[in-house]
Amino acid sequence: MPKTLDGAENDATSDSKRPEALDPDRVISMIPLRPYHIVADIRCGSGHFSIPLAKYVSQGKLYAVDTTKEATESCRQRLAKVHLENAEVIYSKAKKLPIDKNSLDGAFLAFALHTIEDKASLLAEAARLLQPGGWVAIIEWYKLSTEDGPALENRVSEEEVRDLCKLAGLRFVSQRDLNGKSYLSLFRK
C-alpha cells in the first residue's frame, strides 16, 4: 500500500476544526504573497483560505490540495461560486503530490501538521515543490490547553515546527501570534 500524504486516517481538516476567528485577508497580509505567485494550499479543507489566496494570486495560480474527496469537492464548489479560474483543486492521498518539483513560489499549510503522523514527510514534500527562495507559511495551534482546537497532545509546538522545517531544508524567517491560540511561522527554501 503506498504511503499517503495524510499519514493517518485522522481527518481533522474540516473548517469546524479551524478557528474561524482568523481573518484570511489578515493572514495573507503576513506572508510574502504576490499577485503573480504560484502557490499551493496544502490540506486545504473546504477552502477557508483557498478562496482568498486564489483571489490574491490573480495573475498566478493556486493549487488547493487535500486528502479527502469531501473536502476537495466542497473547495471546488466554493471556488466555482466565486468564478476563480486560476485555482486547481487536487485530491491526492499520494505522498508525492502531482505538482512539478521547484514549481511553487509558496506553500500554505493551515492547521495541517497536527492532523498527521508523518509531519516530516509532508514538509519535505512542500520543500520539494518550492523554487529556491520560495516560502512556506505554517499556521498551527499553540501547544496550550484551550476550549477549542485539537487535543493538547496532537498540537505541534513552534519549536517542533522549526526543527521539522530545518530537517526539510527550510530556514526560519519569522513567527507571528494570530489570536493567542494559534501562530504563523514563515520559512524559506
Side-chain half-sphere of 31: how many Cα atoms within 13 Å? Answer: 34
pLDDT value at residue 2: 39
Tens-digit pLDDT profile for residues 129-150: 999 999 999 999 999 998 888 9
pLDDT < 70 positions in the chain: 1-20
CA nearest neighbour of 53 among 43, 41, 65: 41
Burial of 173 (0-12, 13-18, 19+ CB in 10 A): middle
CA triple 80-51-56, angle to 5 deg:
120
Q: How far apart are CA 63 and CA 40, in angstroms?
A: 4
101's grid cell: 518539483
Q: Is 55 strand, coil or helix?
A: helix
What pLDDT sits at residue 55?
97
- According to the model, what pLDDT value does residue 5 have? 54
Q: Which three cell numbers stand for residue 172?
A: 526560519
Report pLDDT for 127: 98
DSSP element (H, E) containing 140: strand 130-141
CATH fold of 23-188, please?
Answer: Rossmann fold (3.40.50)
What three-state secondary structure class fits 64? strand
Angle (CA) 131-135-140 rounded to 5° is: 140
pLDDT at residue number 148:
87
Per-domain residue ranges of the chain: 23-188
CB 72 within 8 A of CB 143: no
